[in-house]
Chains A and B, each alone.
Chain A
């Protein structure tokens, strides 16, 4: 008989071994699914690796796909770590995109460095402000931030749609075909974010910004007074109150920090890739929700988020390249889903010990229990 027993402490090596084993298990089961649906498992995996990493420009495409996931992953990781459940990365990213494109359009004609800097700041500020709404509701009225941040996603999506499709706003292009088919105004070329070329791989500026953000978050968590206060509030709110730590401000601060990360993700979507506010594209991508998955797979560690976002970005990138008449898009989603299920399911092995109940040794049977000595001290 096989049983699960709770571990008292998780050994360190399991922290690495369990996610790796989960990854392999997901590949094996995914391979089975591929074989059963009439595809070659090894062939498909080879193509995924090729399209995600090795073929010409593949890694560049992977990094582009990874960038928004990196930001929303960081947003979810920093909040979830502190037991503040910000599900609103999606909406905060949209607000970041609105503000960054607004800044880019408004500053047309100014030097590029100024426009790009303004876009980053505007994106971060808008994301932070959007997240501060559920943050303030949680801090001052005790409202559940899961519900409020989630609901604001729909508000944000509709706001972006309204700006382009429902109004004659500053963001909407009214010239040329824009007069009949609603589209956003294209940002000036100076507003395009630069990219770095490293050995043939194009690294988007947004990705570098995200890596820097991960490092900053790690430093904030580990080495600052604010990070210290965050950890105390997350672990023991009463102790924080008794120590004079302003718990409400900390919750608000965590939400704002989380929203700022997602907001820069929105700015990067404008500056790095689309150069125009595209509500449909943003709403279909679902970066905010995917970010929660990334954070979960990274076990809420900001540095691990960087690597997980590359893996997930690679899958998304390869999926786009693979899909066609003989390879349905749903199959890529299946592989991603398997990856998530196995990784989260693998947690069981980190926290529990598997035992096969052993049969009692013959020698024990029948022996009387040794008497406990009656000691008079």
Chain B
């Protein structure tokens, strides 16, 4: 790290905590991730950095934490021109980062993780006491002796924040911190962020969720296509305006299904999915599904909502043939699945869009064309005997990329280099290209930006309009209500209620998700 010795004082008042000017970062292959980006982060404010995936938010935060070096531009930290060569420099400069994907050592305790990387000798008692005190002060309760793998995602995030606070980071960067949190946990996090700002710290909140930005930030800097759109005071703007700045056009998200004819009730086509008394175990062998009975008609979207961990994943995996049902029957488009085998399920017409799109849905280091061929490569026309037909795989990939609007430098680009929205489009293109009878989609828009959400939703609804049944599993109640014809609520592995969308009431659904019965809730 190099700094100039003269602190640059701006006229009247202290210099901003961070002033980045003209930051430009290019990547090999001609991608410009940041193009002359400016950011001013003041001490004592919560500053939101808003932008779609791929707008350059992560690149900018990686520049601020010393992971990337900008090709051009200057960085002033507390008024000093500073060069960050490594994350170590950033830590020394008082910059703390809470990454979207946590950097924690799973077998270590909370206290060990917090002090990890400090140069002083490790004293367990002292460290644990310090972490406990810090947690109480910021209302981030977490047991310092617990091991990371024992903690929930929300608790793990607290450890990340404590880590930054323990190093007395004056500048805190949180990269999409709410992506993994429940609404209640997010609320609590916002309070912590406010408390940190009130202490005079500078908090940079990276997000693409408009309502959260409006709820917590003092000012917002919007990035689009690697450039600044502008910096505004949050109090002066509303959702529509921010959305327009972020996307560059008007966006319509809500009530996408309104005006669509209800699912045809004729008996001409067999139901897309019939589950009868299905039970299943979780990974540890404990029962996770109990007597699940559901029907999804052809052309219908059935939303399944519930708090995470109430059997949704097991449900999706049973239908997808990945998990064995311990009881009951699964029937897809009139064909009973007798064996838990993804190939059998796929052959019966199941398309599966898993929740972890990057590692379960795709093979991230493989190219777009290989990922698009993940299912179809076994059969002609993409293979002949044991050999692949590369030119046909390429041609099909180009066709699917065009049809589903996948934006990638080329069919040979590894999927991990794509934005979240484009990864999801690759996944949807692969799964929907076989004209499935049933689409199982788990949190299909989680972590995506507004533009991508719009197109993923449209794609799923188009599949329903084309006659597929859709089993939409999501924790996002608004999304379930926007897209579904009927809504089923899961609680502790059981379906505790199924209601028509038009009769669904958010409070009522919320109570069901919390374990109330339909009889208690009902009118």
Residues of A within 8 A of B (CB): 3, 5-6, 8-9, 11, 223-228, 231-232, 235-236, 238-244, 355, 357-360, 364-377
Contact = CB atoms under 8 A, between A and B. Distances in A.
Interface stretch (B152-160, B339-347, B444-452, B454-462): B339-347
Nearest to A233: B363
Interface of B: 2-6, 8-10, 15-16, 19, 21-22, 27-29, 38-40, 67-69, 74, 76, 79, 81, 83, 85-86, 221-222, 229-233, 236-237, 241, 244-245, 320-322, 341-343, 346, 352, 354, 356, 359-366, 370, 373-375, 377-378, 383, 386-388, 390
B387 A224 contact: yes
Nearest to B242: A377
A223 B388 contact: yes
Contact of B230 (A226, A240, A375): A375
A5 to B, nearest CB: 6
A377 B3 CA distance: 35
Contact of A376 (B3, B83, B236, B386): B236
A236 B2 contact: no
A238 B4 contact: no
Given A366-B4, A366-B8, A372-B231, A377 B237 contact: yes
B272 to A, nearest CB: 19
Contact of B361 (A9, A223, A242, A244): A242
B73 to A, nearest CB: 11
Given A372-B40, A374-B233, 18 more contacts: A3-B85, A5-B85, A8-B68, A223-B390, A225-B388, A231-B363, A232-B370, A235-B365, A236-B363, A238-B356, A238-B359, A239-B362, A241-B342, A242-B322, A360-B3, A364-B81, A369-B74, A376-B236
A367 B74 CA distance: 11
Contact of A377 (B241, B359, B363, B377): B241
A240 to B, nearest CB: 7
A369 B374 contact: no
B360 A236 contact: yes
3 nearest CB pairs, A to B: A375-B230, A369-B19, A244-B342
Contacts of A244: 321, 341-343, 346, 375
B352 A242 contact: yes
A244 B19 CA distance: 51
Contacts of B359: 236, 238-239
B232 A376 contact: yes
Contacts of A369: 8, 10, 15-16, 19, 21, 40, 74, 76, 79
A94 to B, nearest CB: 30
Contact of A372 (B39, B229, B245, B341): B39
A33 B190 CA distance: 63
Contacts of B366: 231-232, 235-236
26 contacts: A5-B69, A8-B27, A223-B388, A224-B386, A232-B370, A236-B362, A238-B359, A238-B360, A239-B374, A241-B322, A242-B320, A243-B342, A243-B374, A244-B346, A358-B2, A365-B6, A366-B4, A368-B15, A369-B74, A372-B19, A372-B39, A373-B230, A375-B230, A376-B237, A377-B230, A377-B237
A376 B230 contact: yes
Given A235-B363, A242-B352, A244-B342, A373 B231 contact: yes
A9 B31 CA distance: 13
Contacts of B5: 365
A370 B222 CA distance: 18
A235 B361 CA distance: 12
Nearest to A241: B322
Contacts of B388: 223-225, 227-228
A106 B366 CA distance: 47
B374 to A, nearest CB: 5
Contacts of B370: 228, 231-232
A9 B29 CA distance: 10
Contacts of A375: 229-232
A359 B81 CA distance: 11
B418 to A, nearest CB: 15
Contacts of B373: 228
Contacts of B363: 231-232, 235-236, 239-240
A254 to B, nearest CB: 15
A364 B370 CA distance: 49
Contacts of A370: 19, 21-22, 38
Contacts of B356: 238
Nearest to B430: A243
Given A236-B360, A242-B360, A357-B85, A11 B377 contact: no
Nearest to A353: B69
Nearest to A366: B6
Interface centre among A242, A244, A366 (most CB of B within 10 A): A242
Contacts of A243: 342, 374-375
